Amino acid sequence: MPEQRTTPRKNIPVYMRVLNDDTQDILGHMVEVSMEGLRLETTHELPINKDYYLRLELTPDLGSVPYIVFAARSKWCKMDIILPNLFHVGFQVIEILPEDKEVFSRVLQKYGA
């Protein structure tokens, strides 16, 4: 499948847990990020083209709030080629508050390798 991303994602070297904000279920942890989207590593397959309210848990050095919540759409889901019990899921950010977008930008600046 050809690359459709317009902005390259950056690897995240720290563990940043992501939850479904509606159910409080842990979806996985963020392993790549750009201002337009993110990639999660998860232990279960997620449906494609589904909208979620994602809760990104933050490290204390990113600000005074413990997490941000934003809307994102799952765009693809693939099983890991080495560890078949893991899945990689690509999300496109579809709605985020301006103040949370600033925090999201700090995540990218601070941890984007």
Domains and CATH numbers, the chain: 10-111 (2.40.10.220)
Q: What is the pLDDT of residue 62?
A: 85
Which residues are registered as beta bridge partners of 56?
18, 68
Phi, psi of 72 (to 5 degrees): -145, 150
Whole-structure pTM value: 0.88
Q: What is the pLDDT of residue 2?
A: 46
Indicate the pLDDT class of residue 4, thresholds 50, 70 and 90. low
Residue 19 pLDDT greater than 50, yes or no: yes
List, for residues 26-68, the tens digit of each pLDDT value: 999 999 999 899 999 999 999 999 999 999 999 888 888 999 9
